[in-house]
Structure 1
Amino acid sequence: MKTIEVDEELYRYIASNTRHIGESASDILRRLLHIEQAPLSSEAVNEEAKAEAAPQLGIGVEQMLKGEEFASQESAIDRFMHILSVLYQENPSAFSQANDIKGRKRIYFADDEAALLASGNTTKPKAIAGSPYWVITNTNTGRKRNIIAQLMAAMGYGHGLIERVSQSI
Structure 2
Amino acid sequence: MKTIEVDEDLYRYIASNTRHIGESASDILRRLLQLEQMVAQVEAQTAPLAEPSTTPAEVQIGQRIEQMLQSDVLAEQESAIDRFMHILSVLYQDNPSAFAQANDIKGRKRIYFADDEAALLASGNTTKPKAIAGSPYWVITNTNTGRKRNIVAQLMAAMGYSHSVIERVCHSI
Output the TM-score relative to the length of structure 2. 0.66
Query: Superposed, which structure 2 residues align to 1:8-87 within 5 Å?
Result: 52-53=54-55, 54-56=57-59, 57-87=61-91
Corresponding residue number in structure 2 for 1:98: 102
Distance 2:172 2:73 in 1: 13
Question: Which residue is equivalent to 1:8?
Answer: none
In structure 1, the residue matched to 2:141 is 137
Give the C-alpha shift of residue 74 in structure 1: 1.5
Q: With CA pairs under 8 Å and 6+ residues apart, which has the higher RCO, 1 or 2?
A: 1
Amino acid at match of 2:92: Y
Superposition RMSD on alpha carbons, in Å?
1.3
Tell me how far apart the structure 2 counterparts of residues 52 and 100 of structure 1 sit (CA, whole Å). Answer: 27
2:132 to 120, 128, 134: 128
Of residues 143, 152, 160 in structure 1, which corresponds to 2:156?
152
Distance in 1 between residues matched to 2:63 and 2:135, nearest whole Å? 19
The TM-score, its normalising length taken from structure 1, stands at 0.68
Write the distance in 1 (CA, Å) between the matches of 2:104 and 2:95: 16
Moved over 4 A (4+): none
1:130-158 per-residue CA deviation (whole Å, 9 max, x = no partner) reads: 00000000000000000000000000000
Q: Distance in 2 between matches of 1:84 and 1:167?
A: 14
Separation in 1 of the partners of 2:165 and 2:72?
18
What is the aligned-residue identity percentage?
Answer: 81
Q: Deviations over 1:58-97 (max 9, x none)?
A: 2110100122222200200000000000000000000000
SS in 2 for 1:55: helix
Kindly tell me the number of residue pairs found equivalent between the two proteins: 119
Once residues 140 and 97 of structure 1 are traced to their aligned partners in structure 2, the CA distance between those partners, rounded to angstroms, is 22
Output the amino acid matched with 2:74: F
Q: 1:114 aligns with which of 112, 118, 128?
A: 118
Report how far residue 52 of structure 1 moved: 4.0
Distance (whole Å) between structure 2 residues aligned to residue 153 and residue 83 of structure 1: 14
After superposition, what is the alpha-carbon deviation per residue over 1:15-66, rounded to whole angstroms, capped at 9, x for unaligned? xxxxxxxxxxxxxxxxxxxxxxxxxxxxxxxxxxxx9434233211010012
The residue identity in structure 2 corresponding to 1:103 is: G
